[in-house]
Structure 1
Amino acid sequence: MRLSRRVVTSLAALGALAASTTPAFVHPHIFAEARLDVVIGADNKVQALQHVWRFDDLFSSTVLVEFDANKDLKLDHHELEEVGKTVHESLAEYNYFQVVTQDGKDVKMVAPDKLIAMMEDNQLIIVFESKLAEPLPLKGKLDFGVYDPTFYTAIDFVDDHAMAAEHLPKACSRSVIRPDPDEAIAANQSTLTDAFFNDPTGTDMSKIFATKLELNCTAAG
C-alpha cells in the first residue's frame, strides 16, 4: 500500500494510536468540523444523511503533499477524485463514522456511492450522502451520530445548529446530545468488555461517546 493511501486511511485509525487503557484518555490525531443534515421526505420519513467535514490545517496539508502527483502545490480535479476514492474505501468498514438508531436499535444504512473531496482555504473538505436502507418513520426516539470508533479522528459539531433536520413535524422534538466520556463509561460499565478498553481498532460500543442529534417523536408524521 503506497504512502498516499496510508495517509488517508489514518482517518480510520489504521495508524498507531496513543497508548491508553480507556477511550477517555485516547487523544485524537485528526480534527474535523462537521455538519450533518437529516433529510426528511414529504412522507415524514428519514431518507438520508448529508455530511460535510472540514479537516484541520495539518492533516489537509499532509493530504495535499501526498496526493499532489504533478507537484504543482495544489490538487486538481483528478487528484481530488483520488482523495475521495481513497477515503471512501478506507471508511467502508467503519460505516463512514455514522450511527443511526431507533429506540436503541441500529438502523441499516446504504454505503454512499462516492465521497466528494474539495480544497477550500487550504483545508480538505469531504462531502457525501448516505441513504437509509429503508425510509425511517419519525416514531419513537431516533438518534443520528457521527463518531470514529477508534477515537483517532475527532468529528466536532461546533454548535447545535450544525446538526439539522429540516421539515421536522410538530410531533417531534430535537436536541443535541454531547456525552461526557467519564459519565458514558460509568453508565455503561456493565456492558463494556475488555475489548472495548484494549482494542485499538475500536468496537461498536464506542458509539456511546458520539455527539448525536436526537429526535423524539410521539407518532409517525
Structure 2
Amino acid sequence: MMTRARDAFASILLGLFAAVMASHTVYAHPHAWIDLRSGVILNAEGKVEALTLEWRFDEFYSAFVLEDIARAGEVTDEALETLVQENMVSLRDYNYFVEAQYDGKPVALGDARDGTMVEKDKRLVMRFVVTLAEPVDPKTHEFEYAVYDPSYYVEILHVENDLVTVAGPGAGECLATINAPAPDAEAAGLAASLGKNEQGPSGIGRLFAEVVAVTCADE
C-alpha cells in the first residue's frame, strides 16, 4: 500500500511508470527523479517571505506524461497549464513537499502561486512559488528548508553544483547553503529493499533530503 504522500503525487505523476512496471518486478526506491532549483525571496524588511521552486522531471516521466496528454488531444500550452494548476491543488495538503524550519521549529506555509509548466529538452519543467504563512527574519535565527517526497518514491535533489538564489528587496548580505543528505547504511539498505508498491517508515524521504540553510548578516 502506498503512502498518502505518494497518492498525492499521483495527480502530478499521472500513474508514474504504471505501463512499464506492470510487467516487471521493480525494487529499490527511488523510482523517479527530479532535478531541483530553488531560491529564497526576502521582502523589504529583510524577512523570508517565499521560496521559488523549479522541478525538472526525468525524461522517462516526461515522455509518459506527454504521451498521456497526447492521447486526449494535443500537447498545448493550455493542457500544460491545466496540469500545473491541478498539481498545485493536489500538493497543497502536503505543503508542496516542502519542510521549512525557523530556529528549529516548523514554519507554516501559505499557498503556491505563479505555477507554470513547459517542455524543455524532452523534459517537463514545473516552476512555482511557495509563500510562508508569516515571514521570518533570518538575521535573528537560521531559516532552513528541504524539498522531498516523504515516501522517497521520487528523489528530489538540487542540480549538481547549482546555487540557491537569494533575491528580493531585502536580500542584503544573505547566504544560502545546500547541505547534502547523510543517510546511514541501514537507511540506504532499507530504501534499496523496497518494492514499487511498498512503503518504508513514515518520512523515510527526509533521510535522503538536502537541507538549505539561509543566514543573513545583521547590517
Normalised to the residue count of structure 1, the TM-score between the two structures is: 0.73
Percent of aligned positions with the same letter in both sequences?
27
- Secondary structure in structure 2 of the residue aligned to 1:99: strand
Question: Match of 1:129?
Answer: 129
Cα distance in 1 for residues equivalent to 2:15 and 2:38 = 22
Deviations 1:5-57 (A, max 9, x none): 4843659xxx99966xxxxxx42122111110100122110010011111111
Deviations 1:149-171 (A, max 9, x none): 1101111212353322246444x
Cα distance in 1 for residues equivalent to 2:172 and 2:163 = 19
Question: Match of 2:154?
Answer: 153
Cα distance in 2 for residues equivalent to 1:99 and 1:49 = 11
Question: Match of 1:81?
Answer: 81
Cα distance in 2 for residues equivalent to 1:99 and 1:211 = 11
Distance 1:201 1:93, change over 3 A: farther
- Secondary structure in structure 1 of the residue aligned to 2:145: strand
Is 1:34–1:162's contact at 8 Å kept on the other side of the alignment? no
Is 2:166–2:175's contact at 8 Å kept on the other side of the alignment? no
Give aligned pairs, total.
Answer: 193
Gaps of 5+ in 1: 20-25, 186-198
Counterpart of 2:109, as a letter, is M
* Correspondent of 2:180 among 172, 178, 181: 178
CA RMSD, Structure 1 to Structure 2 (Å): 3.3
Counterpart of 1:48, as a letter, is A
Residue 78 of structure 1, CA deviation:
2.0
Question: Match of 1:189?
Answer: none
Is 1:46–1:136's contact at 8 Å kept on the other side of the alignment? yes
Asked if 1:48 is matched to 2:50, the reply is yes
Asked if 1:66 is matched to 2:78, the reply is no
- Secondary structure in structure 1 of the residue aligned to 2:199: coil
Cα distance in 1 for residues equivalent to 2:176 and 2:154 = 26
Normalised to the residue count of structure 2, the TM-score between the two structures is: 0.73
Is 1:145–1:212's contact at 8 Å kept on the other side of the alignment? yes
* More displaced stretch, 41-50 vs 83-92: 83-92
Question: Match of 2:98?
Answer: 98
Counterpart of 1:213, as a letter, is V
Cα distance in 2 for residues equivalent to 1:54 and 1:209 = 18
Cα distance in 1 for residues equivalent to 2:121 and 2:57 = 11
Distance 1:149 1:10, change over 3 A: farther
* Correspondent of 1:8 among 7, 14, 26: 14
Question: Match of 1:143?
Answer: 144
